[in-house]
Structure 1
Amino acid sequence: MVLSHAASGGSSDDSVHSTFASRYVRASLPRYRMPENSIPKEAAYQIINDELMLDGNPRLNLASFVTTWMEPECNKLMMDSINKNYVDMDEYPVTTELQNRCVNMIAHLFNAPLGETETAVGVGTVGSSEAIMLAGLAFKRRWQNKMRAAGKPCDKPNIVTGANVQVCWEKFARYFEVELKEVKLSEGYYVMDPEKAVEMVDENTICVAAILGSTLNGEFEDVKMLNDLLVKKNEETGWDTPIHVDAASGGFIAPFLYPELEWDFRLPLVKSINVSGHKYGLVYAGIGWCIWRSKEDLPDELIFHINYLGADQPTFTLNFSKGSSQVIAQYYQLIRLGFEGYRNIMDNCQENAMVLKEGLERTGRFNIVSKDQGVPLVAFSLKDSSRHDEFEISEFLRRFGWIVPAYTMPPDAQHVTVLRVVVREDFSRTFAERLVIDIEKVLHELDALPSRSSGPSLQHPNGDTVSEKDLARQREVVSVWKRAVAARKKTQGVC
């Protein structure tokens, strides 16, 4: 007798069903509560993988400075070490050694005043945000100790920065109760003015923060001028106000493209530097570094010692447990590429940025806001935004897959709106040329659409008058398109 499929019990075996015909994809999954029952691993994978397809393509995310490509060998190293908890130094001593090697290599790259056998002072962090928190705490504690020793109040510390600083500086100020004194920007000058910054320094200033690679337009601030002006003011006042350099974006660029530029520990008032390994350090997101000039610049009372993981282990981080993969990947990149490899990559990024800049200039429609010397990016704004603006260009470019942010400048240049394209290692010459072509297509489409502030009639580019009916229809199309874009558009930062 031949049994039917149902009689044999086959209908209850999910493995015989098509993935997309199984009951696990035929009903909505719970979004706010854990489901009562388990599902097969294949179904869980497929459901999550399919939903992730709705994300943007990281390679085309030109808003981000963060690395989106690494070599397969490095990817394998990361996956092989993903189960190691970095904080357990006694259990994973080789990983700890690799972190220490990275700290020393980066310190020497930044010209730290170290002897041949002297160990650098620094730590790996989750990113530059954590590194800045640690550097800021060190400055605050050193200032408090100095003020207490002099019998002076130490309850109103402040820090001087430009208004172009990344949001992590605002977080530090708010979290750790430090007044943030910002040097306002002005149209055409989008970085901190060193003279204005030094004027704002007082006895309660724990440090002045300079940015090597502004998030807004990639420009390097003049750390050398800041150092010289601050040295003079310190001599006049008897203070010893130091400098921290936020080199999150530029720290892995300046040593290779501009080796003669003085911004690092060659300047005597630079006491600490942070850099993002996951930006132009060429590692996936999750790694930053903070380097101090000397042991005296990192107060001992901020370093904790633990012994319950097997041995005495010093630690100075905001996080405790964290993965080892990014530390190992950073060491891979440093020894794999060496100085020569990093220089070649940064040269290529800069060349591709120039190709993009020249292509935009040929359109005759944009002002270039970024500088040739700085982070390899192109920031640009419309010469005429009376009909359509930069935000519309950003939205329309998403149709081609490009994620290009549009944003306004900080005070007092908030009336200036810019678009920004960050050129990373995986942004090729072909990408640069293709992006220019797509921007030209977007401009042509926008030229054919009604202005945001159009009246009852509109003159079409070909000279014909657009009827009220056609105008209403065009506006409806634009409105529907904008709603569709907004529905899937993620919140865009500028970091």
Structure 2
Amino acid sequence: MANSSQSDDIFAMPGLSRTAPKGGFPASEMFPQVAYEIVHDELMLDGVSRMNLATFCTTWLDDQARRLMNESLDKNIVDKDEYPQTAEIERRCVRMVADLWHSPDASRTLGTSTTGSSEAAMLGGLAAKFRWRKRGGTGIPNFVCGPVQVCWEKFARYFDVEIRQIPLRGDRLTMHPDDIATHVDENTIMVVPTFGQTFTGLFEDVAGISEALDDIQAKTGLDIPMHVDAASGGFLAPFCAPDLVWDFRLPRVKSINASGHKTGLAPLGAGWAIWREAADLPEEVIFNVDYLGGNMATFNLNFSRPGSQTITQYYDFIRLGRTGYTRVQEQIYHVAQHLAAGLTATGYFEMIHDGNPQRGITAVSWKLTDSDPGFNLYDLSDRLRTRGWLIAAYPLPADREDEPIMRAVLRHGFSIDIIDLLLADMERSIEQLRKNPRSKPLTREEAGGFTHSAKAAVPTAKATAPKAKSNSAGAKSNSAGAKPNSAGTKS
């Protein structure tokens, strides 16, 4: 073996003269700088995260946030006895988020940090299932939702709960209040409005759905709670649409999930589950463990996980406060509206969501105005990728699967200048596609990663039309075994 005195150049060192290990576990060791260079160089083949308009997740952090992440990489947040100040920081964050979402008892309600909004959503669903059982519920529980992110289909399958997804009809792209009555019954554990829909970025009418459930209770006696999936909207509306009522101001809302690592501005791996009041989280969901140095309560699906994301989230909260979050989020909406205006000006696109903070999250979604402009959205998405832009193109959910759309998610770190560069590349891509049309346009399957529909890993039963039930407020719809039609996985 050559030694380091023969050459100081990294690329002349042993280990880089052969291909990197790719199969079985490697037999020999290598210098750390060589191993680093191999991994570092391979990662150059990834897309640039800042240019990824398909992801909802944070792709920009300031230097202080990165320092805190590095300084707390070795803190296990579940070890509350060994890391009591990290535990205290988590408690502070729970109280802050509960206050932000108008909990009637923010200082004493229960909540937890999670690895993301998917885990938080499942915790909310499990709490609803346990509350339903405690009330005497028997049989197969169900929950009602509109077009949802795939984590809810996972919850249904993994925890044996029937999912009743309300199909899109007419020009509707969200679940509407008048859809609810025909889908709920005595086994409905919750209705789940999506406050920032994955497909389009639109808010569902949480207050209207709550009123519809009030009417159902008055007519049938069914008292059905709500869980709000605010994965993306939970850290936007409180600052940019504060008069929009969607949270614990509605008594029927018992729990809310959100991603800190989306519009909460925290790094990847941060989510929040908050309950309206402590009584809304059943004791059966809480575990007490005493083998880590002290007795502690936990109600996460994961156990050991880093505390750095929660620590950095707290940094964001105290650095920005309400004033700072409002300023930052309003600017992101401004950037989104600039993109929507530029896309509309091309004449090729019709906006579905134009970045209006009263209607949805900091995203823009659109479809073609012409059914045959010489290209389709999959072609355009593929062409933009040659310039490094990652923008999702995918079909709408079931019953609208022949309608492809595109969606760009704007996040902290995007500027007007960057959007102008994107619009210029968009116009060049359209011109090239029109001058050199494909003999056969791309399909959603050929577009690979740019399609955004979840596909079942195992054969599933085909969804059936709702079947009327006696002595209930409605009917059954799609089961947990129905073909998923979500907009992809939560990050």
Q: TM-score, normalised by structure 1?
A: 0.87
Question: Shift of residue 142 of structure 1?
Answer: 0.8
Alignment match of 1:425 (pick from 399, 404, 412): 412
- 1:265-284 maps to which residues of 2 (within 5 A)? 265-284=248-267
Q: Is this contact kept in 2: 1:64–1:494, CA < 8 A?
A: no
Return the index of the structure with the highest Cα Rg: 1
Partner Cα distance (2:51, 2:2) in 1? 44
Q: Is this contact kept in 2: 1:187–1:413, CA < 8 A?
A: no
Q: Which amino acid aligns with 2:326?
A: R
Gaps of 5+ in 2: 453-487
Deviates more, 1:362-371 or 1:258-267: 362-371
What's 2:20 paired with?
29
Closer, same or farther: CA 235–247 of 1 in aligned 2, 3 Å: same
Question: Shift of residue 279 of structure 1?
Answer: 0.2
What's 1:121 paired with?
110
Q: TM-score, normalised by structure 2?
A: 0.88
Question: Shift of residue 170 of structure 1?
Answer: 0.1
Q: What is the SS of the residue equivalent to 2:193?
A: strand
Partner Cα distance (1:284, 1:385) in 2? 40
What's 1:394 paired with?
381
What's 1:475 paired with?
none
What's 1:172 paired with?
155
Q: Is this contact kept in 1: 2:392–2:451, CA < 8 A?
A: no
What's 2:136 paired with?
147
Closer, same or farther: CA 36–340 of 1 in aligned 2, 3 Å: same
2:2 matches 1:18:
no
Closer, same or farther: CA 351–109 of 1 in aligned 2, 3 Å: same
Identity rate, percent: 43
Q: Which amino acid aligns with 2:375?
A: H
Closer, same or farther: CA 33–346 of 1 in aligned 2, 3 Å: same
Partner Cα distance (2:124, 2:3) in 1? 60
RMSD: 2.0
Q: Whose relative contact order is higher, 1 or 2, with alpha carbons under 8 Å and at least 6 apart?
A: 2
What's 1:51 paired with?
42
2:145 matches 1:161:
yes
Q: Which amino acid aligns with 1:403?
A: L
- 1:350-429 maps to which residues of 2 (within 5 A)? 350-371=333-354, 372=356, 373-386=359-372, 387-429=374-416
Question: Shift of residue 30 of structure 1?
Answer: 2.2
Q: Which amino acid aligns with 1:429?
A: I
Q: Is this contact kept in 1: 2:229–2:257, CA < 8 A?
A: yes
Question: Shift of residue 14 of structure 1?
Answer: 6.5
Q: What is the SS of the residue equivalent to 1:272?
A: strand
Q: Which amino acid aligns with 1:378?
A: V
Gaps of 5+ in 1: 1-9, 149-153, 455-477
Closer, same or farther: CA 292–324 of 1 in aligned 2, 3 Å: same
- Poorly superposed stretches of 4+, deviation over 6 Å: none
Q: Is this contact kept in 2: 1:183–1:193, CA < 8 A?
A: no
- 1:340-359 maps to which residues of 2 (within 5 A)? 340-359=323-342
Alignment match of 1:130 (pick from 119, 129, 134): 119
Deviates more, 1:356-365 or 1:377-386: 377-386
Q: What is the SS of the residue equivalent to 2:263?
A: coil
Count of aligned pairs between the two proteins: 450
What's 1:76 paired with?
67
- Select the structure that is richer in helix: 1
Partner Cα distance (1:491, 1:385) in 2? 19
Question: Shift of residue 430 of structure 1?
Answer: 0.6
Question: Shift of residue 11 of structure 1?
Answer: 4.8
Partner Cα distance (2:160, 2:246) in 1? 28
Q: Is this contact kept in 2: 1:159–1:205, CA < 8 A?
A: yes
Question: Shift of residue 292 of structure 1?
Answer: 0.3
Q: Is this contact kept in 1: 2:57–2:268, CA < 8 A?
A: yes
Question: Shift of residue 18 of structure 1?
Answer: 2.3
